[in-house]
Amino acid sequence: MLQTSVEGIWVLQALVGVESMPVALQLKPFIPSAHGDLIVETTAGRQPIARTAQYQSLVEAGVIDDRGAVDPIVADWMTVLGRPEREVVLRIRRPDAPATETAGPTVAERVMVICRHRRFLAMAARNGADMVIGGVGEAEEADKQIAHMCRMLLPAFGEHPPADIDGFNLPKDLLTSAVDAAGGKGPEAMAAALRSLGLGPWEVEVLQAGSGLDTSAMAVVIVIDHVPEARPHPRVLTVADTEYGRISLSTTTAADGREWMAVFPATPTSLRDDLADLLAVPQLT
C-alpha cells in the first residue's frame, strides 16, 4: 500500500500517463495537452513537477527513482485505476460535529474504490486530502475476484452489533413513493408513511434511526461497469449503523420483474453474503 495525498496521486497520474481516475475520488484529471510539459503552478510560481514537495515525498517513499521513473508495481496500480472495466465504490459517512444553535450536524465522508482491469484488481481510498492506493489481487475466476474485493472492503465497515429486528421485504416502488411523499415534512410524517406500508412501530423506529446524521453511520456500495461509458448497476447495498444496531438494505428483483427492498439485521456473515451477491452481478454490455 502507498499512503500519499491528493496532489501526490496527480503527480503519479502525470508520470504514468493516467488521464483520469474514478469519479468517486473527485481527483483532478491529467490533461496531456495542458500538462504535458510537467510544469505546474505552485506557491513559488511555475515549477517543474520534480521540484514540488509532492514529487519529493514520493521519491523519499521509494516510489520514484533518481531517473524519474515510477516503481513498476505502483505504475500497474495506477493503470488499473485509470482503465477499469468495473468499479466497486464504497462510500461511508459518519457523524462529525453535532448540531449547534445555528447549524445542523455535520458528517465526515470517505470513499474507497476497487477497480478491475482484466484479471487485475487495485484500490484507492480517499479521506479528505489523504489518499491510499494499492493492489487487491489477481485472478481470472469471478469468485476469486469477489473474494479479493470482499477481503478489502469488509474491514472498512468496522464492527457493530446487528439490530434486533426480524427483517422484512417491501416493494421498492411503494417504499420510494412513500418516502418521497413524506420527504421534508419531518420525522412524524416519515413515520406515518412507513406505517402505511404495514411496518410496526419497532421496525419504523429502527429504519428511521438510519437517517440521523448525528446518531448513525451509513455505508453505500455500488457497482459501475465501463462499456465503454460508465454505467451504474441499479442494485445497491446500504448498511446503516444505528443506536439499535446494524441493518442492511438491499434490492432484489422477483421473477415477475418487480423490485423489492429487503431490510434485515446485518451480521458479519450476512454482510459478507450481501456484498458478494452484489459483486456477482453480471457485467453490463
pLDDT tens, 19-42?
999 999 999 999 886 777 787 777
Residue 217 has pLDDT above 90, yes or no: yes
Residue 116 pLDDT:
98
Residue 184: is its pLDDT beyond 90?
A: no
pLDDT grade for 215, boundaries at 50, 70 and 90: confident
Provide the b/e sequence for 109-131 (b: ≥16 CB within 10 Å): ebbbbbbbbeebbbbbbbeeeeb
Residue 64 confidence (pLDDT): 97
Q: What average pLDDT is seen over the chain?
A: 92
At 32, list the grid cell.
Answer: 496531456
More confident residue, 227 or 112: 112
Q: Tell me how far apart the alpha carbons of residues 151 and 221 are, in angstroms, rounded to a whole number.
A: 15
**Parallel, antiparallel, or unpaired for β 168-171 and 259-265?**
antiparallel
- Res 139: pLDDT: 98
pLDDT for 118 equals 96
Nearest by Cα to 211 from 169, 252, 241: 241
pTM (2 d.p.): 0.91
| pLDDT band at 205; cut points 50, 70, 90 | very high
Q: Are 111 and 131 in contact (CB under 8 A)?
A: no
pLDDT of residue 32: 81
* Predicted local distance difference test score (pLDDT) of residue 253: 85
The pLDDT assigned to 263 comes to 94
Average pLDDT, integer, range 90-107: 82
